[in-house]
Amino acid sequence: MDACAALAESIERLAALGYSDGRFLKELGRAAGVRRGPMWLFDAASGGRNRIRGRGFDRAVDDDTDGQARHFAGTIAVAARLGGRLTRWLVVQVLRDAPDSADGRLSDEAIEFVRLVRTGGLQQADAADWVRDRLCRAAAT
């Protein structure tokens, strides 16, 4: 299954619901099994759940597992609540994802996604195409 394309389609459907940017980002975290309420921290700390399994991510952000959609959405869920700086620290220090690894680069993309949505640099309506263009294998070939 092309999980990157499925993730982009999920983002497209979510964007059509008209949520605030903050809610949009938190709802996107649900694609990683991270709930919106107070239990989000437990979900994120446990690694969430692989709701969108498969491949399809560009080689630069692909760690050869079926969990990159979960990784991206889960990092968004954390960054939406804790901010980019603390999330980046957690990724490097706690998860031990080196910045130059596929997971480190994917985390950076997720943190950038949150920053862009929050600042208005990326509109929800364009978010799915952003994912397709930057993260999906088909766009990179």
> Could you tell me which residue, 1 or 92, shows the higher pLDDT?
92
With vertex at residue 93, the alpha carbon angle to CA 137 and CA 71, rounded to the nearest 5 degrees, is 30
> Could you tell me which residue, 141 or 12, shows the higher pLDDT?
12
Unique residue bearing structure tokens 């195409």: 129
DSSP string, 65-102: SS-HHHHHHHHHHHHHHH-HHHHHHIIIIIS---TTSH
* % residues pLDDT > 70 (the chain): 96
Domains of the chain, by residue range, sit at: 3-135
**Mean pLDDT of all residues in 49-67:** 92
Specify the 3-state DSSP secondary structure of 132: helix
What is the pLDDT confidence band of residue 139, given thresholds at 50, 70 and 90?
Answer: low
Tell me the per-residue pLDDT of 69-116, one tens digit each, with 9 for 90 and over.
999 999 999 999 999 999 999 988 887 888 899 999 999 999 999 999
**Mean pLDDT of all residues in 16-22:** 97
Please tell me the distance from the alpha carbon of residue 14 to that of residue 16, in angstroms, as a whole number. 5
pTM attached to this predicted model? 0.93
